[in-house]
Chain A
Amino acid sequence: MPALKIIDIKKMNKIVEKEFFSENVAKIVIEAPEIAVSRKPGHFVIIRIDEKGERIPLTIASSDSEKGTITLVVQKVGVTSAKLLALEEGGFINDVVGPLGKATHIEKVGTVLCAGGGVGVAPLLPIVEGFKKAGNRVITVLAARSKDLVILEEQMREFSDEVIIMTDDGSYGKKGLVTYGMEDVINREKVNLSVVIGPAIMMKFAALTTKKYNIKTYASLNTIMVDGTGMCGACRITVGGKTKFVCVDGPEFDAHEVDFNLMLSRLGAYREQEMKAYENYLKTVQ
Chain B
Amino acid sequence: MEKVAEYLKIERAQEWRAELRKSLKAKERTSRERVHMLERDPDVRNKNIDEVNLGLTEDLALLEAQRCLDCPNPTCISGCPVGINIPKFIKKIDAHDYLGAAVVLKETNALPAVCGRVCPQEKQCENNCFYTISLKKPAVAIGHLERFAADFERDSGKVAIPEVAESNGIKVAVIGSGPAGLSAAGDLRKFGYDVTVFEALHEIGGVLKYGIPEFRLPNEIVDVEINVMREMGVKFKTNFIVGKTASIDDLKAQGFEAFFIGSGAGLPRFMNIQGENFNGIFSSNEYLTRVNLMHAANSEYDTPVLSGKNVAVIGGGNTAMDSVRTAKRLGADRAMIIYRRSEQEMPARLEEVKHAKEEGIEFMTLHNPVEYFADENGRVNKARIQKMELGEPDASGRRRPYPIPDSEFDIEVDTVVVSVGVSPNPIIPSSIPELKMTDWGTIVVEKDTMQSSIPELFAGGDIVRGGATVILAMGDGRKAAAGMHKYLQEKVKK
Determine which of B250, B268, B379 lies in contact with A231 in the assembled complex, contact meaning CB atoms within 8 Å: B268
Instruction: Looking at the assembled complex, report how far the CB atom of B241 sits from the nearest CB atom of chain A, in whole angstroms.
Output: 6
Say yes or no: A52-B301 contact (C-beta < 8 A), given A6-B254, A230-B267, A230-B426.
yes
The docked-state distance in angstroms from the alpha carbon of A35 to that of B244 is 9
With A38-B245, A38-B246, A237-B277 as given contacts, are A231 and B266 in contact (CB-CB < 8 Å)? yes
Residues of A within 8 A of B304 (CB): 54, 270, 273-274, 277
Q: Which residues of B contact A208 (CB under 8 A)?
A: none
Interface-located stretch among A18-26, A96-104, A126-134, A146-154? A96-104
Tell me which residues across on chain B come within 8 A of A6, comparing CB atoms. 196, 237, 240, 246, 251, 254
A94 to B294, CA, bound (A): 14
State the interface size on chain B (CB cutoff 8 A). Answer: 50
> For residue B283, which residues in chain A have a CB less than 8 angstroms away from its CB?
232-233
Find residues 297-315 in chain B having any chain A CB closer than 8 Å to their own CB.
300-304, 306
CB distance B202 to A48 under 8 Å? yes
Smallest distance from the beta carbon of A164 to chain B beta carbons, Å?
34
- The answer to whether A243 touches B240 (Cβ under 8 A) is no
B269 to chain A, nearest CB (A): 9
Is B407 part of the binding interface, using a Cβ–Cβ cutoff of 8 Å? no
Judge whether A230 and B245 touch: CB under 8 Å: no
Q: Among A48, A99, A231, A269, which residue has its beta carbon within 8 angstroms of that of B289?
A: A231
Taken together as a complex, chains A and B put the C-alpha atoms of A248 and B267 apart, in Å, by 10
Contact A34 B286 (CB under 8 A): no
Does chain B have a CB within 8 A of A240? no
- Residues of B within 8 Å of A236, CB to CB, are 270, 277
How many residues of chain A get a CB closer than 8 Å to chain B's CBs? 45
Within 8 A of A (CB), among B214-241: 235, 237-241
A8-B235, A99-B245, A243-B272 given; A233·B250 CB < 8 A:
no
B277 touches A38 (CB 8 A): no
Using Cβ atoms and an 8 Å threshold, which residues of chain B touch A227? 200-201, 210, 289
The answer to whether B277 touches A4, judged by C-beta atoms less than 8 angstroms apart, is no
**Given A233-B283, A233-B285, A97 contacting B378 (CB threshold 8 A):** no
Tell me which residues across on chain A come within 8 A of B426, comparing CB atoms. 230, 248
User: Of B201, B247, B277, B301, which contacts A243 at CB under 8 A?
Assistant: B277
B436 at the interface (CB under 8 A from A): no
For B265-283 the 0/1 string (1 means CB < 8 A from A) is 0111010100011111011
CB distance from A103 to the nearest CB of B (A): 11
Q: A4-B253, A227-B200, A233-B285 are in contact. Are A265 and B301 (CB under 8 A)?
A: no
B302 contacts A53, C-beta separation under 8 Å: yes
* CA distance in complex: A227, B286 (Å): 9
- B117: Cβ under 8 A from any A Cβ: no
Q: A94-B202, A226-B289, A233-B283 are in contact. Are A52 and B302 (CB under 8 A)?
A: yes
Provide the residues of chain A in CB contact with B378, threshold 8 Å: 262, 265-266, 268-269
Q: CB of A3 within 8 A of chain B?
A: yes
Interface residue B290 (Cβ < 8 Å from any Cβ of A): yes
Judge whether A140 is part of the interface by a CB distance below 8 angstroms.
no
Whether B425 is near chain A, meaning CB under 8 Å from some CB there, is: yes
In the bound assembly, the distance between CA atoms of A95 and B200 in angstroms comes to 11
Q: Are A52 and B295 in contact (CB under 8 A)?
A: yes
9 A-B pairs with C-beta separation under 8 A: A6-B254, A52-B295, A230-B426, A231-B266, A233-B285, A245-B267, A262-B277, A266-B378, A270-B304
* Closest 3 pairs (CB-CB, A-B): A265-B378, A232-B286, A97-B239
* Interface residues of A, Cβ cutoff 8 Å to B: 3-6, 8, 34-35, 38, 48, 52-55, 79-80, 94-100, 226-227, 229-234, 236-238, 243, 245, 248, 262, 265-266, 268-270, 273-274, 277
